[in-house]
């Protein structure tokens, strides 16, 4: 059975597993009926939180979720996100007031609901004033279209900036952060998780199975992991790259540890994420019913101190084996002009 944890300091309780809907729609499972059945199974198992985004299959994921929640909306803590490119429009993306005010209406329509429990900024956008974004989101909260405001894959400094803006300028406070976190991607342990705890933010980690590396399908010796993701993200999956070879070596060691502990690798991986005191709920993203069933039982697993110590020996705390897995590269690193004086 899932357990329920406080969603930050909001007074809301959500399940320690959140159903991620990224794989519902054309880029994952195109069968809407199958998606609805998976969602209903998750709800029947006690999961009461669903996370999606407008950009997942260009709105199709939200449509599947909307269909599934007919008659069950009141029981679900529903989260979605904005930021990514929708269609071909020049301004149909981003964190501007113009786009937020327009896109929330589209998400509400696709989700077949009058309100969104958690509306999240999917990625930072340094060229847009964070106060511009929080001002628009604050208006949506006052209008009753959004209950709470969150972020995804923000750096600690941006999280602190958001708290400062809320206090000094009377904006809605960001109450949650959704970062990448898994045994192979532990960089947020250095600063992000302590900052989230300091400000009482809920934390909803995405990719707790490290993009499939911890699903039990991958092992060292593969010339390339067998996954549809490989062609889209070669920098994360190309086994000839040393950083990815190190991930596969860690997977081998973790697979052995899971077997010695009487656990599946999936349960070991999810239980590890849930063991961190700052984590509220881990987002699982099944594409099929079998995927969901293989992950549900992790909510009951508690890892011993010895097993957690063994994991630390395989992947040291605060370490991302592949830096790309952090999910966001700030312009200060990505843009050469931001770090070089031009003669």
Active-site positions read 56
SS3 category, 22 = coil
Rounded CA-CA distance 215/54 in Å is: 26
Rounded CA-CA distance 98/261 in Å is: 52
Write the DSSP assignment of 88-153 as a string of letters: T-TTSSSS-HHHHHHHHHHHHHHHT-S-EEEEEE-S--TTS-HHHHHHHHHHHHHTTSEEEEEEES
CB 303 within 8 Å of CB 268: yes
CB 175 within 8 Å of CB 150: yes
- In 238-288, alpha helices (H): 242-260, 265-275
Question: Any idea what the Cα angle at residue 160 is, between residues 151 and 108, rounded to 5°?
Answer: 20
CB 111 within 8 Å of CB 139: no
H or E element at residue 32 = helix 32-44
| Cα dihedral 180, 124, 21, 176 sign | positive
| Cα dihedral 232, 245, 21, 100 sign | negative
Rounded CA-CA distance 222/239 in Å is: 7
H or E element at residue 324 = none
């Amino acid at each position: 059975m899932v357990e329920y944890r406080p969603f930050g300091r909001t007074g809301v309780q959500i399940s320690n597993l959140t159903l991620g809907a990224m794989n519902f729609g054309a880029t994952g499972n195109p069968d809407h009926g199958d998606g609805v059945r998976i969602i209903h199974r998750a709800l029947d198992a006690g999961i009461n939180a669903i996370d999606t985004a407008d950009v997942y299959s260009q709105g199709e994921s939200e449509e599947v979720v909307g269909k599934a929640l007919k008659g069950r909306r009141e029981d679900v803590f529903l989260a979605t996100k904005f930021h990514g490119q929708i269609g071909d429009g020049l301004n149909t993306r981003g964190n501007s007031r113009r786009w937020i005010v327009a896109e929330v209406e589209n998400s509400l329509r696709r989700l077949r609901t009058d309100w969104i429990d958690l509306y999240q900024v999917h990625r930072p956008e340094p060229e847009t004033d964070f106060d511009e974004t929080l001002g628009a989101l604050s208006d949506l909260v006052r209008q009753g279209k959004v209950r709470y405001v969150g972020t995804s894959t923000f750096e600690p400094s941006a999280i602190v900036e958001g708290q400062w803006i809320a206090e000094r300028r009377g904006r809605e406070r960001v109450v949650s952060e959704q970062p990448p976190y898994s045994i192979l991607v532990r960089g947020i342990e250095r600063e992000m998780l302590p900052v989230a705890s300091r400000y009482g933010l809920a934390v909803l980690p995405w990719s707790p199975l490290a993009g499939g590396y911890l699903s039990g399908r991958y092992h060292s010796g593969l010339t390339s992991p067998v996954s549809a993701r490989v062609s889209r993200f070669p920098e994360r999956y190309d086994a000839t790259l040393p950083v990815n070879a190190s991930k596969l070596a860690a997977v081998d060691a973790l697979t052995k540890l899971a077997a010695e502990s009487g656990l599946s690798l999936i349960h070991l991986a999810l239980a590890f994420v849930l063991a961190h005191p700052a984590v509220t709920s881990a987002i699982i993203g099944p594409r099929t019913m079998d995927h969901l069933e293989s992950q549900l039982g992790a909510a009951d697993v508690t890892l011993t101190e010895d097993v957690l110590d063994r994991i630390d020996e395989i992947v040291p705390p605060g370490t991302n084996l592949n830096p790309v897995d952090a999910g966001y590269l700030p312009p200060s690193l990505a843009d050469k002009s931001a770090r070089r004086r031009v003669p």
